[in-house]
Structure 1
């Protein structure tokens, strides 16, 4: 089964890169996680000249992938002001029918979000297990990056919003205490019931938190507004092209998501 999942990730990455990697790419965002290994592999397999291309990682792991593949890595704060990335490829922990995503299982959510929002388009690559009708169907918690000094205050506020037993994510060693992100922040994993999507709202359901029923963007905004929160691992709202049409740049919701299926095929979902 594990081998089949890895092959599904590889297949999705190959199709996504072949479809969306720009011919004359100059700036490319590279996300974090197990699927992105195959994204970098697929970029090298294209056989294109990458000597003038800079790859922007979302964390330590993705930077090592870029460097080990013989590509040029540039940290996000080293990107010239005003530069817009041609494309950003990343994985997800869960994706709903509207292409909203939960990310942060690998603790890189803040950098993943700022890279996605600096790109013309964000392309999500995952295996079929990640596609669910609604967020928090299979992946049960929302990762939230918080300042250590504010962690317990944030937990209290999350409980007020309806989260049962939000917890600070532990590192691999009890001796080291809580896991720390590349920013030196903590991750709080906050359980909530499955989140409503646009069709639920259109059908008359309310997502304002009453009875702990939330719409994706409403809950994301409520969590982001808590003092001490750096970023929330819900990626929703505008896609890159929608943000551009509105006069901005970059969007945190993918314009397309590629899922490697159990039968070896690749399923493509595109944002409206």
Structure 2
């Protein structure tokens, strides 16, 4: 078995275990996050007929498609502001369950749905584990900004207590111009290296005029499930 195949098996098992541990027929509303591992979570939901009557709230266009194409019942955060559990992926998870998210540019809706949940569960592969945020995920902290403010926000980021190494406007791959989020905004990737105090950095960035959301999820996750390189699953709780 190739390493990539075993990683995928690990991701699948982590997602399936998270669904089995946290989603049952007593749940009324469940948040569905974004990313490659979440595909396996929806796969597991569809394998369990007793979960078909639950309302599922998406965090992105991707998760909306997963819900619709799976024949599940979709709701919105406006309709269902109280969520039993949200399952989502991550770009990096530190030893204190602080998380970087937003590599797929969905951090605003992901955070909205995560904060609405009684329980927030992370599923990822072992490459997303780190002792300190910013050491494994080296693409920067995603910062969603109102388009007209992106240059002023980039300038303001330079004055934070933890100085960034650099900040870049995320550009689209198959389109000339910047990435545009589901909310019509731009994304700045702010590179800090190892982040000493994620919660403090989050507070400082949220105060910057023009910032829509920051891809730092601090003191939110209850547990993280990691698919290991050998296909096994490990969990992290505080």
TM-score by length of 2: 0.94
Q: Look up the match of 1:2.
A: 4
Counterparts of 2:237 and 2:24 in 1: how far apart (Å)? 18
Q: Look up the match of 1:99.
A: 97
Partner SS state of residue 5, structure 1: helix
Partner SS state of residue 179, structure 2: coil
Give 5+ residue unaligned stretches, structure 2.
none
Map residues 98-247 of structure 1 onto 2, 5 A cutoff.
98-140=96-138, 141-161=140-160, 162-175=163-176, 177-196=177-196, 215-237=197-219
For residues 208-264 of structure 1, the C-alpha deviation after alignment (integer angstroms, 9 at most, x for no partner) is: xxxxxxx11111111111100011000003xxxxxxxxxxxxxxx210100011122
Does the 8 A contact of 1:22 with 1:86 survive in 2?
no
Counterparts of 1:108 and 1:218 in 2: how far apart (Å)? 22
Does the 8 A contact of 2:29 with 2:84 survive in 1?
yes
Q: Look up the match of 1:247.
A: none
**Counterparts in 2 of 1:49 and 1:23: CA distance versus 1, 3 Å:** closer
Which residue of 18, 21, 24 maps to 1:19?
21
Counterparts of 1:126 and 1:76 in 2: how far apart (Å)? 24
Q: Look up the match of 1:245.
A: none
Q: Look up the match of 2:227.
A: 260
Partner SS state of residue 159, structure 2: helix
As a proportion of its length, which structure holds more strand? 2
TM-score by length of 1: 0.83
Counterparts of 1:84 and 1:19 in 2: how far apart (Å)? 20
Does the 8 A contact of 1:31 with 1:88 survive in 2?
yes
Counterparts of 1:132 and 1:70 in 2: how far apart (Å)? 36
Q: Look up the match of 1:203.
A: none
Counterparts of 1:184 and 1:30 in 2: how far apart (Å)? 21
Residue 49 of structure 1: CA displacement?
4.4
Give 5+ residue unaligned stretches, structure 1.
197-214, 238-252
Partner SS state of residue 130, structure 2: coil
Q: Look up the match of 2:35.
A: 33
Partner SS state of residue 83, structure 2: coil
Residue 73 of structure 1: CA displacement?
1.3
Counterparts of 1:221 and 1:194 in 2: how far apart (Å)? 17
Aligned length: 233
Counterparts of 2:235 and 2:135 in 1: how far apart (Å)? 20
For residues 105-154 of structure 1, the C-alpha deviation after alignment (integer angstroms, 9 at most, x for no partner) is: 00000000000000110000000100111100111210000000000000
Partner SS state of residue 86, structure 1: strand
Does the 8 A contact of 1:142 with 1:234 survive in 2?
yes
Does the 8 A contact of 1:18 with 1:46 survive in 2?
no
Partner SS state of residue 221, structure 1: helix
Residue 84 of structure 1: CA displacement?
1.2
Counterparts of 1:66 and 1:76 in 2: how far apart (Å)? 14
Does the 8 A contact of 2:8 with 2:231 survive in 1?
no
